[in-house]
Structures are given as structure tokens and as C-alpha cells.
Amino acid sequence: MLIMNPRVRIYNRFNRFWHWSQALLIILLVVTGFEIHGSFSLLGFERAVGLHNWLAGAFGVLVAFAIFWHLTTGQWQHYTPTRQHLRQMTGFYLRGIFRGEPHPFKKTEIAKLNPLQRLTYLSLKLLIFPIQGLTGLAYYYYNDLAARGHLPNGVGKIALLHTAGAFVLLAFLIAHVYLTTTGETPTANLKAMITGWENRPAEAVAAPAPAPPPPPPATEND
């Protein structure tokens, strides 16, 4: 027979706040950044620069707060790399996802991320975010730093590295949105990140065996 497993709480309030705030800020930073780069015109150069700088400051505050929260609550352990199920997840994303195979990883509140997600998010936090932050600060304080002789090679390499990081973030956003639609339903993962709860799919469970008949009553001859 089929039964519906109970809902499982995966994301607490801070997880959802951190996710949606981070997503909004990154999207706006990418949009304003590419306008500054001259890819299109929406707000105008000066307004785009001002908004981009403000958004970068807000993102820095958010990251600092998130680091404090992860360290004090032990949530940093969700990003610890692991080889467990790594081969299965790689095969699922390369082949199984296109064949309709079941997802090999089941999220829980104490293990929210599969091995590839752990590696991806850890790389963003330890590599891409610092690169964007440091090159952005070098951009912002370029005149002061150049005047002191700290940037003898000019702004060209800084611009190239900052733009490359922006393309990495854009590629991540596109892949992330696509993979969000590959749950049990196209909106299942989205709903889980909004409500914090995930519904488990129906599973086939064997019906319980009938109870054995009671023994016959004892007689006086016994």
C-alpha cells in the first residue's frame, strides 16, 4: 500500500533569510555590475555605481553576520566536504537526472547539502566571494592605493578578475535555478525554501502480516 511520509523540516528561519537575502543581493550586484561594465543601460552609469557600492556593503554585512551564525550554531558543518555518495551524485547529474532516476540523496535538517553542493557552496564562500570582495575594494580605493604605489600594474587585472568572478556567479545562478526545478515537482524545492518544510514522496510499504489466531482455551483434561 502507499503512504505519504510526514513533512520533514529542512530549513529554519535563518536558512531561508540567508538564502533569499543572498540571492537578491547577488542578482542586483550582477545586474548593476554588468551595467557599469557597459553591457546595457538601465539606471545610468553613476546611479548604477552608487547602487552597486551600497549593495556590496550590504552583502558584506550579511556575509559577516552569516559567518558568525554558522560558527556559533555549528551550521558550518553542512559545508564540510565528504566523499560519501559523491560518485552517485556525479552520475545522477550527468545521466540519471535525464533518465528520471530517483535522487540518490535525501535531505535532512542535519544534512541539507549533497556532496557536490557542499563543494560548490564552499568554493563560493572561500574563493569567489573573497575574490569579488577584494577586487571590489581595490576598485573602490584604486586612486588611493595607486597613489601609494600598491597597484603598479594598473586596474586592468583587477577589472578582469572581478568580471570573471561575476560570470562565475551568473553561471551559478542559472544552474541553481535550473536544478531547483528538478525535484519531485518543478516547484517542490522552491516551496521547501519558502516554507522550510519538504514533503516526502509516497512510498510502497508492505501491509502488516495478520496476527496469528489465539491458542485454543485449555480444558480440564489438559
**Would the pLDDT of 155 be above 80?**
no
Q: In this predicted model, what pLDDT tens digit does every residue of 2-44 receive, in sequence order?
A: 455 577 788 888 889 989 999 999 999 999 998 988 888 888 8
**Would the pLDDT of 140 be above 90?**
no
**Would the pLDDT of 170 be above 80?**
yes
Give the distance, in angstroms, between the CA of residue 88 and the centroid of all CA atoms in the same chain. Answer: 19
Distance CA 94, CA 75 (A): 29
Comparing 61 with 92, which gets the higher pLDDT? 61
Comparing 102 with 67, which gets the higher pLDDT? 67
Distance CA 108, CA 104 (A): 13
Distance CA 78, CA 113 (A): 6
Distance CA 114, CA 78 (A): 9
Question: What pLDDT sits at residue 205?
Answer: 46
Q: In this predicted model, what pLDDT tens digit does every residue of 40-78 receive, in sequence order?
A: 888 888 898 899 999 999 999 999 998 898 889 888 888
Domain boundaries, the chain: 74-202
Residue at grid coordinates 570582495: 133
Lowest mean pLDDT among 58-62, 69-73, 93-97, 116-120: 93-97
Question: What pLDDT sits at residue 81?
Answer: 77
Question: What pLDDT sits at residue 204?
Answer: 46
Question: What pLDDT sits at residue 188?
Answer: 83
Q: Mention every residue, 6+ apart, whose C-beta is less than 8 A from residue 199.
A: 4, 5, 7, 8, 184, 188
Question: What pLDDT sits at residue 29?
Answer: 93
In this structure, which long-range contacts are made by residues 81-89, counting pairs with CB atoms below 8 Å and at least 24 apart in sequence?
Answer: 81/115, 81/118, 81/119, 81/122, 82/115, 82/118, 83/115, 84/115, 85/114, 85/115, 86/115, 86/116, 89/114, 89/115, 89/116
Give the pLDDT mean for 167-181. 90
Question: What pLDDT sits at residue 119?
Answer: 86
Give the pLDDT mean for 137-155. 74
Q: In this predicted model, what pLDDT tens digit does every residue of 181-220 receive, in sequence order?
A: 887 778 888 888 888 888 766 554 444 555 566 666 655 5
Question: What pLDDT sits at residue 221?
Answer: 55
Question: What pLDDT sits at residue 202?
Answer: 56
The three three-digit cell numbers of residue 35, written as one number = 551595467
